[in-house]
Amino acid sequence: EVPLVESGGGSVQPGGSLRLSCRASGFTFRSDWMAWVRQAPGKGLEWVANIKEDGSERFYVDSVEGRFTISRDNAESSLYLQMNSLRVEDTAVYYCTRYNDITEGDSFDIWGQGTTVIVTS
């Protein structure tokens, strides 16, 4: 069983919107921070957003603040990323990941396979 499965990627015009989803299984989703990380074609990894276990705290990279919204539904073990006002530079593979913040040290320890977002006119 794959612990994180993303969906919702696709091709959209600049200014458009997409909603990414990530379904979790095999761990206690409601007890964990979650995050989105993206990777533009041929580029490195970029953290996009985090959300606390209960959704009460959210953090974003500056370049998406005000345009993207991270959310979660613990009853459905699902993570979401609502992306509005999309720009060409948002083109990337978007990964859902578990943010494991434990006493011994933090990490992104579980990753989905990624979903591709292409913003093009």
Partner 1 sequence: IQLTQSPSFLSASVGDRVTITCRASQGQGLRIYLAWYQQKPGKAPKLLIYAASTLQGGVPSRFSGSGSGTDYTLTISNLQPEDSATYYCQQLKTYPLGFGGGTKVEIK
Site for partner 1, rule CB under 8 A = 35, 37, 44-47, 50, 59, 61-62, 95, 99-101, 104-109, 111-114
CB of 121 to partner 1, least distance (A): 26
What's the Rg (C-alpha) of the chain?
A: 14
For residues 27 and 59, which CB has a smaller minimum distance to partner 1 in the complex?
59
For residues 3 and 16, which CB has a smaller minimum distance to partner 1 in the complex?
3
For residues 24 and 112, which CB has a smaller minimum distance to partner 1 in the complex?
112
Q: What tokens appear for 111 in the block?
A: 């990753």
Residue 6's contacts (CB-CB under 8 Å, 6 or more residues apart) are: 20, 21, 22, 94, 95, 96, 112, 113, 114, 115
